[in-house]
Structure formats: C-alpha cells, structure tokens
Amino acid sequence: MPEWSNGTVSKTVRLARASKVRILLPPPNFMKNHEYYMKEALKEAVKAFDADEVPVGAIITYKGEIIARAHNQIKMLKDPTAHAEIIAITQAANFLQNERLLDCTMYSTLEPCSMCAGAMVLSRIKNLIYAAKDTKTGAHESVFKILNNKKLNHRVKIKQGILKNEAISLMKEFFYGKRK
C-alpha cells in the first residue's frame, strides 16, 4: 500500500467498476509535493530580490497547508534578524497560537544560518527542506551542524537540493548585479 494510504482512503472509479478494481486516491494535499512548496518559497525569494534584499524565501506548512510565508526584510526593517526563516517562524507561531511548531515543515531557498537554525530547534520545527547550501554561513552542514546536534534537545529532519539550480541562479543574478 502507498505510504499515504491508511486503508480508508479509497474510491471506486466508475470505469473500473466492471472489473471491481479499486483505485486508491491520495488525500487532496498529497499532490502538493516538495517542488510545489519550494516554488512558493522561491516566489518569496523573488520578492526579496525585487526589494534589493538578499533573495531568500521561506514558507511553513502545517498538515499540507501553507501557514506562513516570508522573505528577507533586513534592509527594509533595518533589522539584522529579519531573515525569511525567522519571520516565517513568528507567523506560524502566531497562526497556531503556539510557540512549538511540532508538526510543521519549513521550506527555505537557502541553508539556514546559525540564528535561523537555532530558532528552528527552539520552535521544534519537524522538517526542513532547503534548496541550496550556504557555504559561508550554513548551519546544517556547510559551516556549523546545529540542526542535528546531539547535545541539543531537538533535531530537525532535513532534505536538501529541491530546486537547487533555481535558487542558486537567483542568488548569482542578485550578487552579479551588485558587483557591476
């Protein structure tokens, strides 16, 4: 049985009735895969790009629905902590009315820095999916290893590389424009 099937999610397709074939259909949100959500995070990154901010975007999902979306706003807010991930965590906590984001997944276009990784651990985010590594400040594996540090009381499940080329391309375009 597919991973998403709990035995109760099944329907008989009218055309298949004659042969009594039962086709299992996934729940409605199943079709929204990692690429779908990463594209939403990339839309946020483009907003940052357009605002002359480093193009990082993040969204947070809960039970398959997007409950928070944000992009870097450091310059606009004159706040060095206004990273996309921090803003998204705050939005999600407000939405859920809980500081613990236990069953939430964050999608970010860039490997989080140490500040953002620390906030993910403190908020108990369950999963992080990110597009591109950050070789200068990344805190999953590039520079630091915060998200899975055994000394901390929470570890985040990680998946990386979803739409990596698109995220890298956006970063390169942003910084190429700065170097002209």
List residues with catalytic annotation.
Answer: 85
CA dist 71 and 56 (Å) reads 6
How crowded is residue 57: how many other Cβ atoms within 10 Å of its Cβ?
30
Which two structure tokens, joined as six digits, stand for 114?
Answer: 């140490």
How crowded is residue 16: how many other Cβ atoms within 10 Å of its Cβ?
12
Q: What is the DSSP letter of 30?
A: G
- 44 phi and psi angles, rounded to 5 deg: -65, -40
Backbone Cα Rg of the chain? 19
CA dist 141 and 133 (Å) reads 8
Closest CA to 111 of 79, 84, 140, 143: 140
